[in-house]
Structure 1
């Protein structure tokens, strides 16, 4: 079995979520092959080689079109929802995520998530969807490595009087006050740590994009001396090996409550003590994690902390109970095998219920990063009059004024035209980057009404107008008449939450 995890862009392939969930599965699994690819780099060969495709952080209409195309080819499709952007019903900024999942969730045959909290969120929005909890594969806790690192850090603290503390991670989020905001909000815990006899020195290891003027202003008010370094995988290991304490505060909003305990376990695996004030995200690791600075200081004075030679045996058992990697892999394999069997039975009992071909109508917002994935999954690409730039489209609608459209198609698409349109075609001509034939004039090609927003007018602000979406709905209706057997989606409508035919073009 080969699993393809599909992420939005190549930069997502190196984020923490991809490295922790997918790279670790890839490194350890003997039950299936794991590939990680992005929408802007994936090829037809990647899709052909996989038996399961899991979409990760791809909240777009393009993803839905690709998922349906893969299902039609017998590939099992699922979605990995390890971040909670869905339960905040009172936050209008996140309504597009809820709308997307509630409307298109049934396209997928299963969902993965990392915690029971996230499982409940998904089950509420997509009732009946099979959901499998795939805990983050946690780093291996090597007793010798942890013991040696802790001993060095403890001795250095006693010899120098300096207590080295590290905070590491992504420093910001576009929707939630996490990261650097958490660090600063819980800085009182650092002040308590500095109230002892040690000189607390904090290293902040984070992405440079989060070091905005506002965040730096918050950091400047921290009660302890600090340095800031750009995050890297190597830098994280070095910092955790050097520091005696990893400071990991957690606030209590829903996004944080759905997180896995991976950050704490990453710190523990390098021999660092974890100080985590705030929401008890790591309650399952209580015997290995501190929530109070004075308890940590007392144990440092005694020279016996919660992560040390005498406790690692129990900690390893605790971690294995939460998520043993071998058990995680076997459980995932069995779950996916069941989905394969169910998919086969559905195909035999009901025949092919999905459209034989998917199509994407490109509008003002073309979801450019998804264009390679659209082509790789053999989805028909249709250029609307609003599309900017030129690509090798399979069909195009050119606006000629009034209700008139010029419709061009590649010769291979002629069998998909409505029967009355398959006659009277022009000779092939080079249109854009493709050889195309023009469909003869016919009432099927006429717009219901002239376009209220002309193709020469659209600018980004136009995509927020009702007139623009009315024009798209008009074009979608023509597309459905021209290509009655295609399932038409419209690129760039994932954030449009109002009801209407343009939005509804993504489902049929």
Structure 2
């Protein structure tokens, strides 16, 4: 069985999330009869690709919607893998486009994957009937005898040097939420009790340069232990964790953070770090190995009874098997995928509606599949389309290119009226036989002000969908809208 994971770019293939989640599963899945490959979505041909399954991964635009709709229409399995929770903040208008995207995408999905039960719950807020499978992020390769030596060495070095090295690593910022470096500072009071051990405490923060703004650096000055900052790299992270006694992993209580995976704790533990967490109990599944009480960590350090120690390596190995084993996760995922039943082929025409901020490549994908592209009253005039809708008072005029008129139902072909030339093509008007019964409830367009666009957007989408289905027959409508403004881009 061939499984293609659609990713946004070639660069994304090298990101930590992709390497950890897919790179570590590939070999184990092959042993289960599944060939897993990452494919840049811009290179994917949904109408002809020979994959048995596609999985959408972090492609938050209309290309994913088009790929899913076309692939599912062929009777193939489509799924989505959700890492980050940009979808459950129903009162946050900034994230409307993400909610619109997921709502549309799940209409074509036969399943969903995620890394936590919290994210599985988010999926069910949108579609309760879609099968959801939790895939834990696999741990890096661990040699247990070597790990025991590392644990002994770290403790001996800390006692000899009287220096307690603590690490925080990861992305320090987010365009929508205060996380990362903000959490480091906000929960840093948890580090203060460690002073009682009588060691010098040194916190190293390893993060991305973009996060190092004046504001965030100022927050780090409130941390009550000596702190230094280093630029993140894969090799640098590995070296930092190998020399650190403790990994400090605070988690704030907002839903975005509460839906994160166990990955950072698993990575730190596998490199021989004691894990000190604070805030939301994200790592409860590994609770036997995780410290939330700094006094308990200090006491165990003094008594040489640390939770991750050579004496407890068997328990560590069992927890890694249960929650971070590539072989275990591959076996569970393979059974889940093999049990799914492909949908019935649905050979209906796809129609892509361009919104205020659209994706041109999605339109090209639709054209390659002989679908229809639709310019809404809000889309840029530079985006070519087969069908154009324009406000005319409280109603919409529908214009169809000469080429596209051949696809109209016969009754509509007989009623065409010449209009104008657009995009170098002649367009004709398609009268709306049903409009007279509907215009009473139509909002007045009132020009193209932002307020008018927000007020009329949903109504316009519904009207465009109705008229497209009337004029061309059954159409699978997809809305391409990337605007950060709260446009309700679901039909």
- TM-score bracket, normalised by the shorter chain, equals 0.7 to 0.9
The answer on whether the counterparts of 1:359 and 1:380 sit within 8 Å (CA) in structure 2 is: yes
Instruction: Give 1:229 shift.
Output: 1.9
Task: Return the alpha-carbon distance in structure 2 between the equivalents of residues 451 and 9 of structure 1.
Answer: 41
2:277 paired residue number: 276
How has the CA–CA distance of structure 1 residues 251 and 394 changed in structure 2, closer, same or farther, with 3 Å as cutoff?
closer
Indicate yes or no: 2:481 matched with 1:492.
yes
Equivalents in 1 of 2:182, 2:17: separation in Å?
20
Question: For the Cα contact (< 8 Å) 1:416–1:485, is it kept in 2?
Answer: no
Q: Does the Cα contact within 8 Å between 2:139 and 2:270 map onto a contact in 1?
A: no
Partner of 1:222: 223
Which of 35, 38, 47 aligns to 2:37? It is: 35
| Cα gap change, 1:131 to 1:469, in 2 (>3 Å) | closer
Residue 376 to residue 443, structure 1, CA distance change in 2 (3 Å): closer
- 2:410 alignment partner in structure 1: 419
Q: State the secondary structure of the residue aligned to 2:43.
A: coil
Q: TM-score, normalised by structure 1?
A: 0.80
Structure 1 counterpart of 2:54: 53
CA distance in 1, matches of 2:135, 2:172: 25
Q: Distance in 2 between matches of 1:383 and 1:492?
A: 12
Aligned residue for 1:48, secondary structure, equals coil
Question: Residue by residue, what CA displacement relative to the aligned partner does 1:63-120 show, whole Å, maximum 9, x if unpaired?
Answer: 3343222111122011223433444455555566556555663432111122233333
**Is the 8 Å Cα contact of residues 169 and 231 (structure 1) preserved in structure 2?**
yes
Task: Give the Å deviation of 1:370.
Answer: 4.7
Measure how far apart 1:204 and its partner are.
0.7
Distance in 1 of aligned mates of 2:300 and 2:16: 31
* 2:354 aligned partner: 362
Report what 1:26 is aligned to.
Answer: 26
Structure 2: any 5+ residue segments left out of the alignment?
none
Whole-Å separation in 2 of the counterparts to 1:33 and 1:76: 15
Partners of 1:194 and 1:370 lie apart in 2 by: 57
Distance verdict in 2 for CA 1:204–1:464, change over 3 Å: farther
Shift in Å, 1:203: 1.0
**Contact 1:206 / 1:229 at 8 angstroms: preserved in 2?**
yes
- Equivalenced residue count is 480
SS, match of residue 278 in structure 2:
coil
* Map of 1:443 onto structure 2: 431
For 1:395, the equivalent position in structure 2 comes to 386
| Structure 2 Cα separation of the partners of residues 108 and 166 of structure 1 | 40
CA positional deviation for 1:150:
3.2
> CA–CA distance in 2 between the matches of 1:405 and 1:95?
27
Residue matched to 1:170: 171
Shift of residue 168, structure 1, vs aligned partner:
0.6
Give, in angstroms, the shift of residue 267 of structure 1. Answer: 0.7
Q: 1:140 to 1:379 in 2, by over 3 A?
A: farther
Aligned equivalents of 2:415, 2:83: Cα separation in 1: 53
Distance 1:463 1:246 in 2: 52
SS in 1 for 2:197: coil
Q: Which residue of 2 aligns with 1:205?
A: 206
Write the distance in 2 (CA, Å) between the matches of 1:146 and 1:463: 63
For residue 44 of structure 1, give the secondary structure of its aligned residue in structure 2: coil
Q: Verify the 8 A CA contact 2:12 2:18 in the aligned structure 1.
A: yes
